[in-house]
Structure 1
Amino acid sequence: MIATRSTFATSRFVLLWVLCPVVALATFRFLFGGVAATMGDFLYHAEMRPVAFYAHIVLASVALVLVPFQFWQGLRSRQIQLHRWLGRIYGISILASGSGGLWLAATTESGNVAAWGFGLLAIAWVGTTAYGILLAMGRNIPAHRDWMIRSAALTMAAVTLRIYLGLGMVFGLDYGDIVSFLGWGCWVPNLLAAEFIVRRGRKGTLRRVAVASVRTA
């Protein structure tokens, strides 16, 4: 049990504090090499829909960088105002990036399967985040936390997508070969994992409440 918890903690640290910022910073490689050289598959988006394209990739990176800070318990407990301001930036970034992503999905040249996958990702991303923020405004913190876990899982679709792209390269596959899979595979497993974490957290809370009730009875 201790080994399992240690492995989970290590995996969480690597995901939040290593992969999230690395993927976010790697997105800005277009500043040095240009979109054609670094993101050639998306050049037509950059040329035809520059506002949607740049809003999507830049602000998604901002949201990705903020994910570990929003789940840093020490920050939430000691700097609640900073947590709230970062949350506002996170929410605004997702609203703009998700809207841009939906536009890109609707106009993609990668086929209907990918279009629907990325389009539903954009809708779910904005929806979970907006609902989570509304719950925070209503002071329903437990539910807020659950929905922001779902939001973060969708934000980290950017990480999952890069992992799949890397695996594809190992097998000689490029973006065009696996884009239909990426449209769904980059976020559906993440959302299922988030749901598992949420439900496990609820069971833990109920267990602690039950134990406390027995002790005070």
Structure 2
Amino acid sequence: MPFSRILSPLRLGAFWVFCFLIALASWRFLILGVEASMSFVAYHAAERPLWFYAHVGLAPVALALMPFQFWTGLRQRRPLVHRWIGRSYGLAILLSGLGGLMMALGSTSGVVAATGFGLLAILWLGTTGRGIWLAMQGRIGEHRLWMIRSGALTFAAVTLRLYLPVLFATMGEEAGYTLVAWACWVPNMVVAEWLIRRKSKSPVGQPA
């Protein structure tokens, strides 16, 4: 079942808009500076600048590229473009995921928050790497399932920014940041697994 058939046109449009808007907003540090735009993680820029800028600079690239990888028409009509975008998506995740993992290991936000973001980075790297490996093996059906998982974790950049203001306002910065370290990606993975199970139950002969 193509991704466009799983989501309604309204939800599909919102998916594209959120990915592009959050990707653009994530680069606000280029104009405002790290301290003004990302004050609660700015210490990473001083302590581990290479990993910090790899993460905040390239994670938005992965987010902006992701909708194109789920665009069925592009994949069918321009498979070479699909593959090259996929390579760029994978490289962006490799570098930004490693950056995110190193930031989690050096986090001062407590063990619970650090573990949540650390697991997110590991799973992001793992699901994407698995999906790319399956594509290289020609196992396209399995590849698509793993890229749904990868996409769900990439979309954590969106859900984090949707939840964070609400959690900060209701729980305070410390507790809100701890909760969002898990809330930004665990529900996404639950939805991804539901979509995968739904795809696996598609009638025989229906495209996956």
Fold similarity call, TM over 0.5: yes
Runs of 4+ in 1 over 6 A off after TM superposition: none
Partner of 1:182: 180
Q: Which has the higher contact order (CA 8 A, sep 6+)?
A: 2
**Count of residue pairs the alignment pairs up:** 202
- 1:64 matches 2:60: no
Residues 86-165 of structure 1 mapped to structure 2, 5 A cutoff? 86-165=85-164
- Offset of residue 140 of structure 1: 0.6
| Aligned partners of 1:165 and 1:174 also within 8 Å | no
Q: Which amino acid aligns with 2:143?
A: H
Q: Which residue of 2 aligns with 1:194?
A: 192
Higher helix fraction: Structure 1 or Structure 2?
Answer: 1
Residue 19 of structure 1 aligns with which residue? 18
Is the 2:19–2:158 contact (alpha carbons within 8 Å) kept by the matching residues of 1?
yes
Shift of 1:18: 0.3
Choose 1 or 2 for highest CA Rg: 1
Secondary structure at the counterpart of residue 204 of structure 2: helix
Residue of structure 2 in register with 1:214 after alignment: none
Q: Tell me if structure 2 keeps the 8 A contact 1:150–1:194.
A: yes
Q: Report if aligned partners of 2:100, 2:118 keep a CA contact under 8 Å in 1.
A: yes
Give the Cα–Cα distance (whole angstroms) in 2 for the partners of residues 120 and 73 of structure 1. Answer: 30
Q: Which amino acid aligns with 2:204?
A: R
* SS class of match (1:208): coil
Residue 215 of structure 1: aligned partner? none
C-alpha deviation, 1:34, in angstroms: 0.7
> How big is the shift at 1:7?
7.3
Find the counterpart in structure 1 of residue 9 from structure 2: 9
Q: Which runs of 5+ in 2 are unaligned?
A: none
1:25 is aligned with what amino acid?
L
Task: Output the TM-score relative to the length of structure 2.
Answer: 0.92
Structure 1 residues 164-201: Cα deviation after superposition (integer angstroms, max 9, x where no partner): 01323554x55433111111111010011000001101
Structure 2 letter corresponding to 1:78: R
Further displaced range: 5-14 or 59-68? 5-14
Q: How far apart are the structure 1 equivalents of 2:178 and 2:168?
A: 16
TM-aligned CA deviation for residue 70 of structure 1: 0.4
Determine if contact 1:70/1:83 at 8 Å carries over to the other structure.
Answer: yes
Q: Structure 1, unaligned stretches of length 5 or more?
A: 212-217
Deviation at 1:46, TM superposition (A): 0.7
RMSD: 1.7
Q: Is the CA contact 2:134–2:143 (under 8 Å) kept in the aligned structure 1?
A: yes
